Structure formats: structure tokens, C-alpha cells
A and B are shown apart, each in its own frame.
Chain A
Amino acid sequence: MTMGCFVGGFGVATAAFPNVTALSGGLHEPEGSAAALELLPPMVRRRASALTRSMADAFGQAMTQAGANPAEVATVFGSAWGETGALRELLQQIAAGEAELSPIRFAGSVHNTASGQLSIATANRGFTTSLAAGDDTVAMALQEALGLLANGLAEVLVVLGDVDPPAELAGPLERCDSLAVALHLHTGQPNRPRLARIEDLHRVTTPWPTEAFPAGLQASPVFGGLVLVQAIHAGRTGAVSLGPARGSDWAIRVHAAVTA
């Protein structure tokens, strides 16, 4: 069965390029977009991990562009590594022989930290989830979102992110630039933009070269999200590979801006 949906908005946050406007490679300010929502309260933001902050930034951009209500939208968070910054701090505490770990760091070490913090910040009592699938994380987050839409939800926000894992634990091929990407997806609501249509999530046998992004971004497990955003923004039609540069065998078909 071919499942598809419309893209109502997107957001990008990286250390080097904090939003879509600043990102090189042909991305421009989305037409008509307002300032992105700042979703996390200041104190929460100060204490939040880099991953949660960047996911919140991408989340706010996508919701602003889509004109959607963050208190009502279902959310799917995807990250291959999760909250590795909190993990590093907890490991340091264990190595120091501390019997009691920091409650804030411990509660912030779970994979669904961003999902939880943003549901609290937006007073959203609806659906949220947090998933991982290695280099297939982008594809599987989209699959979960498409499944939700096929089962009756009108709109879903997909938020993808990974930060550079701790140098003392990760190998050189696992080091990457931190990156978060968000995509607002909907079934055709009349009051939402239709920036593109995406459909036909499928396996491919041969990965193809992607645009010339910095190597650190290409190494991110969620790099495919950035490639997808770029294709949507550039108005391209065709299949987009959803993995990092080292490869994932999932792709999705993008159709340029739909107005009808």
C-alpha cells in the first residue's frame, strides 16, 4: 500500500546553521514564515541538553510555518543515539563513585526527554513517541508518522535529531555534527500549507550521492531528514535517500509543491 501525506512546514537546527535561512546549499527563508516559536521556558531551556534544545528549535520552526497548534499536534521524535550528553555526565558520576546520580540528569537521560519536555511545554496531552532505528531512524520515524495519519490523525510533527556522541565512547566514523530537523505532515487540511507531497516509503538497492553538505552533517544518523527538507524546499520531484551518507536502504518519493 502506498501511503502519503502533505508537508505543511519544516525546520532545521544545527550548531553552524541555526535555522533554514542560515543553511547553505540553496535553502531560503520559507515564504510567509514568522519568527519560530520558542517553546521551552527559559529555565527549562537552560537546563536542557543540546539535543532537546535543537529539537525544540526545529519543532518551533516547523510549527510556525505550518500554522499548527503545538498543544494539539501528535509528535514523533527520532534519534539514533538519544541523550548521549546526559549519559556522559552520569557515567562520570558513576566513575566518581557517587551512589546517587543527579535526578535532573537521570530524568533527562531517557530517549524521550525531548518528547516529554515539549509535551509539557506545549501542554499537549495527546500522542507522542520517541524511536530509534540506527541509520534507518529518519525512514522509520516517517513510517510511524504515516501510520498515524493512515489511522485517522490529521497532522503529525516528526522531529529528528542527533548530537555528536561522546568522543571517549564513539569511534571516528560515529562522530558527527549535531543536527535536528522537523517536518509537519498532514493529510490535506485546508488551512495548512502544502509545500510538497511525500509518499511511497520504499527500500532501494543502490544509494545515490547527496548534495554537498559538510562531512560532519553527512555523518549524522538523521542526515536524510536534511536532504528531504532541502528537496522539498527546492521544489524537486523524485526519490530521496533517507539515510546518512554511509547509507540506508530506505527512500521516499517527493512531489513538488501541491496547490490543489
Chain B
Amino acid sequence: MTLPLAITASAACSALGPNVAALEAALATGRSGLRAAGPDLPFATFVGAVTSELAALPPELQPFDTRLARLVSHLLTAIAPEVSRARARWGDARVGVFLGTSNAGILQTEEADAVRVRTGALPADFDFSRQHAYGGALAVLRSLSGVRGPGWVNSTACSSSAKVLACAQRLIAADVIDAAIVGGADTLCQTTLRGFHGLGVLSTTACRPFAAARDGISIGEGGALFLIERHGHAQARLLAVGESSDAHHMSAPHPHGDGAFLAMQRALGAAGLEPSAVDHVNAHGTATKQNDAAEALAIARLLGAEVPVTSTKAYTGHLLGAAAGIELVAVMHALRTGWIPANLGAAPVDAELRIAVQQWGEQRQVRHVLSNSFAFGGNNASVLVGAA
């Protein structure tokens, strides 16, 4: 049995707005943040771009300045009072920091490389270690938060910010730390958009998870941070994270959803809960034909055809390494309010999928939610969250 932990603070930033309240309002009203991508792309697609102003880093952290670092700084500011309280309560060395990201600072590197190609030299302020590399945003998070416990960036593509929750849970259970700042962040960039376009899985419109006419992903940007503590005044409880590998293909899911099934099954097993205890699934639901079909098979096999399933990617876009983070905010909203958000764009639902896709928002009793994230490399994580 895993150790249930208190999620005591949360922050979010996405195309829906700069904070948790903006995300929750959109979930309540069914508002999507997806818009047509700008003219810098040579093809049509929709993206979830963060339009909120992200403040510059303090002068001493200028060498680390990237859009990702500013995003992380923005998120940390929103939970700064709770982090300060946790540092005082547990001690700086007993608070860890775990960040999920897939792209890290690639956006900054793209911009710097474009300058190099044009002028023959990188911008004078480009710093590979501090801006491009995965550790850059982590260093910013460490410096701004003041925590000194263990910490790292988890980068398993689209499961990154689910797996950091497990990292924190394991180290708290092992008595290495008592609390952790955890979450994820990713930014839009040419590499991601043109890469998914090369794979032929980008939608030309706002994505429509589980719809019969779904035609692919909408990429988004943003992130979420949480404070997780051994004990505390909980907004929700992290019960378990199930982790698995497809062992099938680098960029396509197992066709029967075997890895997804294992991840969900392991989460429930670790928490000592039966499948019947799950009241809602926040699906990975990227809106590709293959991904949604495989996930639906796994959900139906483990949980049956009745549990309400929503993918929230049509609200925010697919935040890649930050997807599980932003979706945990949606899960916490469902647990707190009982509101299961509509799966935007699902109607008419693919009749081949034997699951209960939530076509409209609905009030229900919600005690336990599974939130799925499946990634390149066949890397799967399913997060089980309980009400406070």
C-alpha cells in the first residue's frame, strides 16, 4: 500500500488563463482555450497558447531566462506562501522538488539557432546548460523556492508530470523528505509542432477526443505546480501512481491498451482499491484514432462501460510533459465540487469505443479519480487521486 499524501497547494497556467480559477471556470462553462495557430507555421492547426504575461526572472537568474523558466516562476509565485510555510515546518532539506517537462528549453534553443544560422553566431546571452538543458528550469525552481531536498526533472515525454508525483510519494514514504514541490511545464515550439505534423497526428481544428470524427492532437502550453506534504490541510489526496511500459513501439500505443491497463491496475492495487471505487477517469484522450481507441479498450476492460470519462485536452490542448499536471488541477476540481466536465467536441462519440464519454458537464459524487498519461517510448502513468 502506498502512503496517501496531502496536496496542500496548487497553481496552474494555460491557454485558459494564468491561474487555477481560470481553468476551473472554463471547465464549469465548457470553454475551450484552443485557437488557430499563428502564421509562423506552414500548415493549419490549433494550439493552446498562454497569452498571459509571464514576468521576467529576477536579475540574478537572468542567465536562466527562458519562457519555460518564466512559466515555472509564475507558477511558483502562486504557491509561494504555502511553500514558505512548508519550509518552516519541515526544513529546507526535507522539501524536494520534482518537475516534469518534455521540451525543456528547446524553444530558446530554436530561437538561438535561428540567429546562428542567420548571422553566424549564437546570441551572446544564449547559455546551453542554463537555458536549453533540462536542469535549467529546475535550478530556477530551486533558487526561487529555497528548498534544498533532492530534486530532478523527469522527462518521459507526455507522462513526465504524472511520474514526478510518484517520485515525491516514494521519497516521502522512504522518509527522505516530508514534502515536495511537484508539477510540470512545457512551452509551444517549432520542434514539437512540426514533429507531430511529421507523424501525421495533428488536428487541423480544435481536437475532439473520443469523437467519431476525431482527427488528431492540438498541442498546448502551460503547466501546474503543487505542494505535496506528508500531512497537512489537503485540497485532495494523492493516493497512488501506477507506472508501466508498453514494450511495443516508440510513438504508437499498444493496440489493445495493455500498458495503459497495467498502469491503471497498478495504481488501484497500490492504493488497495477495487475498480468499482473509481468515480471518474480523466483520460489521456489525445484525439488520435489509435491513442483513444487503445485507451478506451483499457478503460473498458478494467473499469467497465459506465464510469464517466473525460479528456480535458480540448480545453487546454495537449501540454505534453505538463499534461498530467494541468489535468490534476481538473481532477482536484472534480473531487472538490463533484463537477465532471464535458468532453468538448466528443459528439457524436465514436461508437466503437465501449466507454461512457462525458458529452456534457454533470454533477455527481466523486470520491476517487484516475488520471491517465501515456507517452512516447510506451511510458505510462495513471494517477489515483482521492477527495480531501
Residues of A within 8 A of B (CB): 1, 3, 80-82, 87, 90-91, 93-95, 97-103, 106-113, 115-117, 119-120, 122-137, 140-141, 143-144, 146-148, 150-151, 165, 168-171, 174, 203
Across the interface, B198 reaches (CB within 8 A) one of A102, A165, A174, namely: A102
B248 CB within 8 Å of chain A = yes
Q: A101 is contacted by which of B116, B174, B176, B195 (Cβ under 8 Å)?
A: B195
Inter-chain CA distance A114–B167, complex, in Å, is 20
Residue B247 contacts which of A103, A125, A140 (CB distance < 8 angstroms)? A125
Q: Inside 8 A of B155's CB, which chain A residues have their CB?
A: 82, 110-112, 130-132
Q: Are A1 and B174 in contact (CB under 8 A)?
A: yes
Could you say which of B151, B156, B245, B376 contacts A124, with CB atoms under 8 Å apart? B245
CB closest chain-B residue, reference A171: B128
Which residues on B sit within 8 Å (CB–CB) of A98? 194
State which of B105-113, B209-217, B360-368 sits at the interface with chain A: B105-113
Contact residue among A97, A112, A140, A165 (Cβ-Cβ distance under 8 Å from B156): A112
- Within the complex, the shortest CB–CB distance from A39 to chain B, in Å, comes to 13
With both chains docked as a complex, state the minimum distance between the C-beta of B245 and any C-beta of chain A, in angstroms. Answer: 4
B245 near A94 with CB under 8 A, answer no
Could you say which residues of chain B place their CB within 8 Å of the CB of A1?
174-176
Pairwise interchain contact A134-B377, C-beta atoms closer than 8 A: no
With a CB–CB cut-off of 8 A, which chain A residues contact B116? Answer: 168
- Name the residue in A82, A108, A130 with the highest tally of chain B Cβ atoms < 10 Å from its Cβ: A130
Comparing B133-141, B286-294, B298-306, the segment that makes contact with chain A is B133-141
Map CB proximity to A onto B4-44 as digits: 1 under 8 Å, 0 otherwise. Answer: 00000000000000000000000000000000000001110
Tell me if A130 and B154 are in contact (CB < 8 A): yes
Question: Closest A-chain residue to B148, C-beta based?
Answer: A203
The answer to whether A81 and B133 touch (CB under 8 A), given A117-B250, A170-B128, is yes
Chain A neighbourhood of B128, CB < 8 A: 165, 169-171, 174
Besides A107-B199, A125-B246, 10 other A-B contacts (C-beta < 8 A) = A3-B174, A93-B194, A94-B110, A112-B157, A115-B379, A120-B249, A133-B135, A134-B129, A134-B134, A144-B167
Contact A119 B150 (CB under 8 A): no
Cβ B377 vs Cβ A112 within 8 A: yes
Residues of A within 8 A of B200 (CB): 103
A90 CA to B195 CA, complexed, in Å: 9
Per-position 1/0 for B144-183, Cβ under 8 A of A: 0000101111111100000100010011011110000000
Cα distance A131–B175 in the bound complex, in angstroms: 21
Task: Give residues of chain B (296-326) contacting chain A, Cβ–Cβ below 8 Å.
Answer: none
Tell me whether A106 and B198 are in contact (CB under 8 A).
Answer: yes
Chain A residues within 8 Å of B134, by CB: 80-82, 111, 132-134
**Identity of the chain A residue whose Cβ is nearest the Cβ of B109 in the assembled complex:** A169
Q: Within 8 Å CB of A127, what residues of B? A: 243-245
Do A147 and B259 have beta carbons less than 8 Å apart?
no
Residues of B within 8 A of A108 (CB): 250
Find chain A residues with CB under 8 A from B42 CB: 97, 99
A97 CB, nearest partner CB in chain B, Å = 8
Q: CA separation between A208 and B276, bound complex, in Å?
A: 56
CB-based contact A110/B129 at 8 Å: no
Query: Does B152 lie within 8 Å of A119, measured CB to CB?
Result: no
A110-B157 in contact given A94-B191, A99-B43, A169-B113 (Cβ < 8 Å): yes
Binding site for A on B (CB under 8 A): 41-43, 102, 104, 106, 109-110, 112-114, 116-117, 122, 126-129, 132-136, 138-139, 148, 150-157, 163, 167, 170-171, 173-176, 190-191, 194-200, 243-251, 258-259, 262, 375-379
Q: How many A-B residue pairs have CB under 8 A?
A: 213
Q: Which residues of A contact B43 (CB under 8 A)?
A: 99
**In the bound complex, CA of A119 to CA of B150 (Å):** 26
- On whether A112 and B151 interact (CB within 8 A), knowing A1-B174, A98-B194, the answer reads no
- CB < 8 Å: which of B41, B122, B138, B250 contacts A133? B138
Instruction: State how many angstroms separate the Cβ of A16 from the closest Cβ of chain B.
Output: 23
Which of B152, B174, B259, B376 lies in contact with A125, CB distance below 8 A? Answer: B259
Cβ-defined contact, B139 with A134, below 8 A? yes
CA distance A108 to B136 in the complex (A): 22
What are some 27 contacts across the A-B interface (CB < 8 A)? A87-B191, A95-B114, A95-B117, A99-B43, A101-B195, A103-B195, A109-B191, A112-B155, A115-B377, A116-B377, A119-B377, A120-B246, A120-B378, A125-B259, A125-B262, A127-B243, A127-B244, A132-B138, A134-B129, A134-B136, A137-B152, A143-B152, A146-B174, A147-B174, A150-B173, A151-B170, A171-B127
Give the residues in chain A near B112, CB-CB below 8 Å: 169
For the complex, what is the distance from the CA of A123 to the CA of B244, rounded to whole Å?
A: 12
**Which residues in A have their C-beta under 8 angstroms from that of B139?**
134
Give the residue name and chain of the A residue nearest to B154 (CB).
A131
B247 near A111 (CB under 8 angstroms)?
no
Chain A hits for B258, CB < 8 A? 125
Minimum distance in angstroms from A71 CB to a CB of chain B: 8
Nearest CB of chain B from residue A201's CB, rounded to whole Å: 8
Shortest Cβ distance from residue A248 to the other chain B in the assembled complex, whole angstroms: 11
Question: Which A residues touch B247, using CB under 8 A?
Answer: 119-120, 122-125
Q: With A115-B156, A120-B250 in contact, do A143 and B191 touch (Cβ < 8 Å)? A: no
**8 closest A-B pairs by CB:** A116-B377, A134-B135, A106-B195, A111-B155, A132-B134, A150-B174, A100-B198, A133-B152
Q: Which residue of B lies closest to A95 (CB)?
A: B117
CB distance from B334 to the nearest CB of A (A): 27
**Whole-angstrom distance between the alpha carbons of A135 and B139 in the complex?**
11
Task: Give the docked Cα–Cα distance between A150 and B147 (Å).
Answer: 23
Q: Which residues of A contact B262 (CB under 8 A)?
A: 125
